[in-house]
Structure 1
Amino acid sequence: MDAEGRRARFEALAPGLVEPLRRFLARRTDAATADDVLSETLLVCWRRLEDLPEDPLPWAYAVARHALANAERSARRQRRVAGKVAALDPPATTTGPVGGEADLPLEEALAALRAEDAELLRLWAWEQLGPGEIATVLGLTPNAVSIRLHRARQKLRDELRKIDAAAGHEGTRGRSRS
C-alpha cells in the first residue's frame, strides 16, 4: 500500500476509533492520562495499519489497555521516587486527603473484585462488547470469556448485596428505644 493509500485508510478508520477509545479510557483513568494513552493508541494503529483486522475497535481496545498499563506503571514509579524524595526532604506542611463524595455502590463493588473480573465487566457493560470482541481485547478464547463473564457477574451481584446489606444496617446502629 502506498503512502497515500495508508493515509486514506487511516483517515477512514480513525473517526470510528477515537470516541469509543476516549470513553473507554475516561472510565479508567484521569483526563490527561486518557489523552496521552489515546494518542499512543492511535500512533500504534497508524504504525501497524496493515495488522488491523476488519473490525479494528476490539484490537484498538487491546492496544489501549496495554498503553494504559504502561502509563500506570510509569506513574507508580514516579510516585515511588517522589515518596523517596519526600522521605529524605519532607515538605514543611502537609495536607490530608481531600474529602469527597462517597463512592457509588457499583464502584465499590467493582473495586472489591479482582482487577481481571472488573475489567471483563467494564468491557462487557461499558464498552458493550460481546464475548468474541472481549476475547480479542484480552487475548482469550470467546468460550473462556463467556465462562469468566458469567462468574464475574455473579461475583459483582454478591458484592452489591454485601454493600446493600451493610448500608441497611448502618441506620439501625445506636438507636435508642423510647
Structure 2
Amino acid sequence: MTEQQTSGEPRARFEALVHAVAEPLHRFLSRRADADAVEDLLSETLLVLWRRIDDLPTLATASEVDPDAVLPWCYGVARGCLANARRADGRRRRLMQRLTLSQRPLPAAGADHTDLHDALGALRELDREIVLLWAWEGLAPRQIAEATGLTPNAVSIRLHRAKRRLATQLERKNRPGTGHDSGEGRSEG
C-alpha cells in the first residue's frame, strides 16, 4: 500500500462516519443543549471522533458504515463533550461570581480602607486577582496558579511585584507632604 493510500484511508473512513452520524448527533445534541451551543458541541464531538477513529472497531472500511453499529459509541462521545461543556460553563459562572464579588467595595466597618482599595485598583487586573486570591482566599501560589492558568513561578513573581507596588502606593499616600520644609534652603544671615 502506498503512503498516499495509507494516509487517505483514515480520512475516507472519517468522512464516511461523518456522513452517517452527523445528522443524528446534531439532533441528539439539539435536544440536550442550548441552540447556540449545538454547533460547537457537534464540532467538538466530530473532532474527538476524528482523533479516535481507530478506536471504533466496527468501522472496518470507508465504504461500510452501519449507523446502528457506530451511533451508540458516537452518542457516548457526544455525551462526554456535552458534560465537558457543562462543567466549563459552570466554572465560568463561578469565576464571574467571584470576580464580581471581588470588585465590590468592602462595607465600611469603621476603618477607612479607601487607600488600599485605590492601590488595588491601580494594579493590572490579573495582578489584582492574584493578590486577592492570596490575601482574601488564603491560597498558596500553586493553588493560585491552578485557578488562573499561570505557572506557580509566574504567580510567585507577579505576587511579589504586586505586593511591592501596593506597598509603594500606600507609602506614597501615607507620607507627609513632599517638598522642602519652610526653613530648608535658606541662609541664616
Length-normalised TM-score, structure 2: 0.44
